[in-house]
C-alpha cells in the first residue's frame, strides 16, 4: 500500500480472468432472460447476439459488481479502515483479460493518545452580583410596563412616538410602515429620528434624511442615506410597575419581591455556570488538538464543512431568507475559508472518540430515553411517537453519539486543572 499524502493511500488491484469470465457469463444470462429482441421469444435470444447487442451494458454491469466486491474483500483482508468513497484510476478491462485498476482512498488516522487528564484551563466559579440581579429585574419590569396615550403636545425625550413612515428616496423597493414606535432620545433610536421628531405634535408630517452605518443589521439599508416622510400619530407615556410584592405575585408563583430576586440570582448563576463550563470545555479541546498533530481524512473535513454550511443555511431560513433564491454558496471559497477550522474540529472529534474508547464512556439506553422524553416535551408529542420518528430517520444513533461526546467532554472538564481566569 503506497502512501500519497496525509491519510490518502493507493493500492493496485487485479481481478483474475476466471472471476471476470464467470461474472461476464452470469450478467449475460441475466440480461438474456429479460431481453426482448425482434424475432426471438423473451429469454431465447442466442448468447452471441446478447453479447453483441448489449456488450457495453454487460461490461458496465460486470465492473459495477466486481470492483466494489474486490475493494471490500481487500480492505477487509488487510483490516483497512477506509473512509469516504475510493477513487478508481488506471482502469484496464480488455477482452479475455483480468480487470486491473488502482484505488485511491483515505483511511482513518492512527495516532498515539497523549495525556488528556489534568489539562490546565481557565475557570472561575460564577457569581451573580446584586447589581446584575437588579439590572435583570429592571428588564423584567420594563417588559411589564404599560403605555398610556397622551393628549396631543410636542414630543419630548422619553416619549414613545407611534409613527407611520414611507421612504421617498435612497432605497429600492420603497419602505413603508403603518405604525412604528420610536422612543425619543433613546440610545437605540437613530439620532435623526430623535432630532427631527423632538417638538413635533401628533398629526404633523416631516421629511428628513437618515444615514445608516455601514455595519447596520439590514443589508439593504447598510451605509445608505434614506429620505423618509414621517407622520407622528400618537404619543405614549411609559408607566413602570412598582417593584413590590404585588408585582412579584403577578409574575407567577412568588409571594414577595425578594423571592423574585433569589429566582433571578439562581437563574443567572445557572446561565453563567453553563457558559463558563462550555468555554472551559472548548479550551480543553483546543489544547488537546494543539498537542495531537496528525493528518485527518479530507472526506471528514469536507463533511464537517458541509455540516457548517447546512447549519448556516438553516439559520438563514429561520430568519425568513429564501435560501434557494437569495443564497449562493461557492464550495471552493467555503472550503478555503473554513478548511482550517473544520480540520481542527475533526481532529478534536477523533481525539474525543479515542478518549471515550479508553475510558469506556458510552450513552446508555437510559441516557437516550431521557433525551427522547426531553424532545417529546419540547414538541408536545408522546415519547413513543417521537421515538418512532427518530428510528425512522435513523437519528437515534446520532443522538447516542452526541450524548457520548457530551459525557466525554464533561469527563475531561471534571479531570481538568482549573485556574482562576
93 belongs to a structural domain: yes
Res. 326 pLDDT band, cuts 50 70 90: low
9 and 99 co-located in one domain? yes
Structural domain contains residue 353: no
Same domain for 13 and 80, yes or no, is yes
- Is residue 6 pLDDT above 90, yes or no? no
pLDDT at 38 exceeding the cut of 80:
no
* Local confidence band at 320 (pLDDT 50, 70, 90 cut-offs): confident
Choose the weakest-confidence range: 28-37, 208-217, 344-353, 392-401.
Answer: 28-37
Domain assignment present for residue 245? The answer is no
Q: What would the pLDDT profile of 54-68 be if each residue is shown by its tens digit?
A: 889 999 999 999 999
Question: 50 in a domain, yes or no?
Answer: yes
pTM: 0.75
Q: Are residues 99 and 18 in the same domain?
A: yes
The number of beta carbons lying within 10 Å of the beta carbon of residue 95 is 8
Q: What is the mean pLDDT of the chain?
A: 92
Query: Which residues neighbour 413 within 8 Å (Cβ) at sequence distance 6 or greater?
Result: 121, 277, 280, 281, 284
Is 397 inside any structural domain? no
- The residue among 50 and 159 whose pLDDT is bigger is 159
- How many structural domains compose the chain? 3
| R_g (Cα) of the chain, nearest Å | 34
- Give yes or no: residues 170 and 93 share one domain: no
Query: Which whole number is the average pLDDT over 22-31?
Result: 91
Same domain, yes or no, for 150 and 100? no
Pick the last residue of a domain from 315, 346, 377: 346
Element (H, E) at 47: helix 47-53
Looking at 175-224, list the stretches that DSSP marks H as alpha helix, in order from N- to C-terminal side: 191-197
CATH number of the domain that residue 151 is part of: 3.10.50.40
Q: Give the domain range for residue 168.
A: 146-239
Q: Do both 306 and 231 map to the same domain?
A: no
Residue 41: which pLDDT band, with cuts at 50, 70 and 90?
Answer: confident
Of the segments 29-38, 48-57, 186-195, 216-225, which one has the largest average pLDDT value? 186-195
In a shared domain, residues 28 and 88: yes
Residue carrying C-alpha cell 473554513: 338
Contact 232, 201 (CB under 8 A): yes
Per-residue pLDDT, averaged over 222-242, amounts to: 95
Indicate whether 103 and 19 sit together in one domain: yes
> Do both 151 and 78 map to the same domain?
no
| Domain edge (last residue) among 305, 327, 346 | 346
CB-facing half-sphere around the CA of 387: CA atoms within 13 A? 11
Domain-embedded: residue 319 = yes
The CATH number of the domain where 90 resides is what? Answer: 3.30.70.1050
Instruction: State CA 207 to chain mean position distance.
Output: 44
Residue whose C-alpha cell reads 493507493 in the numeric block: 10
- pLDDT of the residue at 219: 82
Checking if the pLDDT of 36 tops 80, the result is: no
Give the residue with greater pLDDT, 2 vs 399.
399
What is the maximum span of the chain, computed from C-alpha positions, in angstroms? 101
232 and 306 housed in the same domain: no
When pLDDT is averaged across residues 76-86 and rounded to a whole number, the result is 92
> Domain for residue 63, yes or no?
yes
Same domain assignment for residues 101 and 177: no
On whether residue 152 sits in a domain, the answer given is yes
Amino acid at each position: 500500500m503506497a502512501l500519497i499524502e496525509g491519510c490518502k493511500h493507493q493500492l493496485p488491484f487485479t481481478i483474475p480472468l476466471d472471476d471476470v469470465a464467470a461474472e461476464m457469463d452470469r450478467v449475460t444470462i441475466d440480461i438474456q432472460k429479460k431481453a426482448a429482441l425482434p424475432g426471438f421469444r423473451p429469454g431465447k435470444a442466442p448468447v452471441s447476439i446478447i453479447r453483441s447487442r448489449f456488450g457495453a451494458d454487460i461490461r458496465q454491469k460486470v465492473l459495477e459488481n466486481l470492483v466494489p466486491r474486490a475493494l471490500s474483500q481487500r480492505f477487509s483482508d488487510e483490516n483497512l479502515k477506509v473512509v469516504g468513497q475510493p477513487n478508481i484510476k488506471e482502469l484496464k478491462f480488455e477482452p479475455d483479460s483480468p480487470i486491473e485498476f488502482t484505488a485511491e482512498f483515505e483511511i482513518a488516522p492512527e495516532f498515539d493518545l497523549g495525556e488528556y487528564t489534568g489539562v490546565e484551563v481557565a475557570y472561575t466559579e460564577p457569581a451573580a452580583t446584586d447589581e446584575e440581579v437588579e439590572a435583570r429585574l429592571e428588564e423584567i419590569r420594563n417588559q411589564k410596563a404599560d403605555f398610556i396615550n397622551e393628549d396631543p403636545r410636542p414630543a419630548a425625550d422619553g416619549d414613545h412616538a407611534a409613527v407611520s413612515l414611507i421612504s421617498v428616496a435612497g432605497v429600492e423597493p420603497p419602505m413603508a410602515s403603518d405604525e412604528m414606535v420610536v422612543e425619543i432620545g433613546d440610545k437605540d433610536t437613530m439620532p435623526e429620528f430623535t432630532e427631527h421628531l423632538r417638538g413635533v405634535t401628533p398629526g404633523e408630517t416631516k421629511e428628513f434624511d437618515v444615514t445608516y452605518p455601514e455595519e447596520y443589521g439590514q443589508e439593504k439599508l447598510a451605509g445608505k442615506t434614506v429620505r423618509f416622510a414621517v407622520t407622528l400619530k400618537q404619543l405614549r407615556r411609559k408607566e413602570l410597575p412598582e417593584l413590590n410584592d404585588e408585582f412579584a405575585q403577578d409574575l407567577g408563583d412568588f409571594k414577595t419581591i425578594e423571592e423574585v430576586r433569589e429566582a433571578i440570582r439562581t437563574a443567572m448563576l445557572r446561565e453563567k455556570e453553563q457558559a463558563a463550563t462550555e468555554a472551559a470545555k472548548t479550551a480543553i479541546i483546543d489544547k488537546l488538538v494543539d498537542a495531537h498533530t496528525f493528518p485527518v481524512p479530507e472526506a471528514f473535513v469536507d463533511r464537517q464543512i458541509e455540516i457548517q454550511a447546512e447549519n448556516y443555511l438553516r439559520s438563514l431560513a429561520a430568519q425568513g431568507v429564501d435560501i434557494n433564491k437569495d443564497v449562493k454558496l461557492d464550495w471552493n471559497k467555503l472550503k478555503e475559508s473554513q478548511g482550517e477550522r473544520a480540520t481542527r474540529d475533526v481532529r478534536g472529534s477523533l481525539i474525543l472518540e479515542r478518549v471515550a474508547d479508553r475510558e469506556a464512556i458510552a450513552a446508555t439506553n437510559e441516557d437516550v430515553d431521557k433525551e427522547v422524553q426531553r424532545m417529546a416535551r419540547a414538541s408536545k408529542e408522546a415519547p413513543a411517537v417521537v421515538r418512532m420518528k427518530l428510528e425512522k430517520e435513523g437519528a437515534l444513533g446520532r443522538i447516542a453519539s452526541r450524548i457520548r461526546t457530551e459525557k466525554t467532554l464533561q469527563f475531561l472538564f471534571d479531570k481538568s486543572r482549573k485556574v482562576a481566569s
